[in-house]
């Protein structure tokens, strides 16, 4: 495996655990609208798609009130976010190894910075790419092309860690090492492998072994 100089992360489901916050925002919207509470299955589906689509599926096509309410409740919940277990330790270790760290997300800049600050990991991110930096959603590699430009490093020295198939596809199209993370409940190892993930990691510390051979006896298990 090529030595890595850059590790980029998707935000939701990889760095920060926003699933429960998003679900709570949808429940708050239902209560505000005075409609039936969405089922657990419907909420799980909703957290896998963009809010606009989720609101349409949960509350109907004419969802302007739902959208306004969701934005309010979601932002009220942001300060409760936390990073996944092991992420803080991983970022500290990678930083000590002088690895360039960044997050590449489809969220807007305001929410991205709020989530990173609330989770206490903003200072580790040397590169931050949000929806305002590009206009072609994943699986387009556009977001990662922007990130590569910011790091000044080649794709062969870069990894992107994602929890969804579109993350893996975007990484592969950008020529970046595609790492599938499955510590979030919404992540599917089958989907990530099907999209072509080169490496599957079950815990954040496994990423450290990809750049610091001492962590794994000089051996990294992957499909490369």
Give the pLDDT means over successive 10-residue stretches in the chain (224 positions).
Answer: 86 96 95 95 91 92 88 94 97 97 96 97 98 95 98 97 98 98 95 97 95 55 44
Which pLDDT belongs to residue 63?
Answer: 76
**Rounded to whole angstroms, how far apart are CA atoms 60 and 27?**
15
**Rounded to whole angstroms, how far apart are CA atoms 185 and 14?**
11
Provide the terminal-to-terminal Cα distance of the chain, rounded to the nearest Å.
7
Which pLDDT belongs to residue 30?
Answer: 96
Helical segments of 120-204, H only: 142-151, 165-173, 189-194
Which pLDDT belongs to residue 217?
Answer: 43
Which pLDDT belongs to residue 189?
Answer: 97
Which pLDDT belongs to residue 215?
Answer: 62
Which pLDDT belongs to residue 224?
Answer: 43
**Rounded to whole angstroms, how far apart are CA atoms 161 and 104?**
9
Question: Residues spanned by CATH 1.10.150 within the chain?
Answer: 19-80
Beta-strand ranges (E) seen in the chain are: 6-9, 100-104, 127-129, 158-162, 177-181, 199-201
**Rounded to whole angstroms, how far apart are CA atoms 169 and 159?**
13
Which CATH number does 6-17+82-216 carry?
3.40.50.1000
CA distances from 150 to 19, 100, 126, 153 (A): 29, 11, 9, 8
CA angle 7, 13, 19 (to 5 degrees): 160
**Rounded to whole angstroms, how far apart are CA atoms 52 and 140?**
20
Which CATH number does 19-80 carry?
1.10.150
- Which of 49, 47, 43, 111 minimizes the C-alpha distance to 75? 111
Question: Residues spanned by CATH 3.40.50.1000 within the chain?
Answer: 6-17+82-216
- On whether the CB atoms of residues 182 and 65 are closer than 8 A, the answer is no
Which pLDDT belongs to residue 213?
Answer: 61
Length of the chain counted residue by residue: 224
């Amino acid at each position: 495996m090529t030595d890595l100089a850059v590790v980029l992360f998707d935000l939701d489901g990889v760095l920060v655990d926003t699933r429960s916050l998003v679900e709570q925002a949808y429940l708050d919207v239902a209560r505000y609208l005075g409609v039936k509470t969405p089922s657990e299955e419907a909420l799980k589906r909703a957290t896998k798609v963009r809010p606009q689509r989720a609101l349409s599926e949960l509350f109907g096509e004419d969802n302007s009130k739902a959208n306004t309410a969701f934005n309010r409740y979601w932002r009220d919940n942001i300060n409760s976010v936390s990073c996944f277990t092991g992420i803080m330790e991983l970022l500290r270790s990678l930083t000590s190894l002088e690895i360039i760290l960044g997050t590449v997300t489809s969220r807007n800049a305001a929410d991205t910075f709020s989530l990173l600050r609330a989770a206490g990991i903003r200072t580790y991110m040397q590169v931050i790419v949000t929806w305002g930096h590009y206009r072609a959603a994943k699986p387009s590699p556009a977001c990662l092309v922007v990130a590569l430009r910011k790091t000044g490093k080649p794709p062969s020295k870069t990894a992107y860690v994602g929890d969804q198939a579109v993350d893996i596809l975007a990484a592969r199209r950008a020529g970046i090492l595609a790492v599938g993370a499955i510590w979030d409940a919404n992540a599917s190892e089958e989907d990530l492998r099907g999209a072509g993930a080169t490496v599957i990691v079950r815990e954040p510390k496994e990423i450290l072994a990809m750049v610091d051979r001492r962590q794994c006896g000089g051996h990294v298990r992957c499909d490369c």
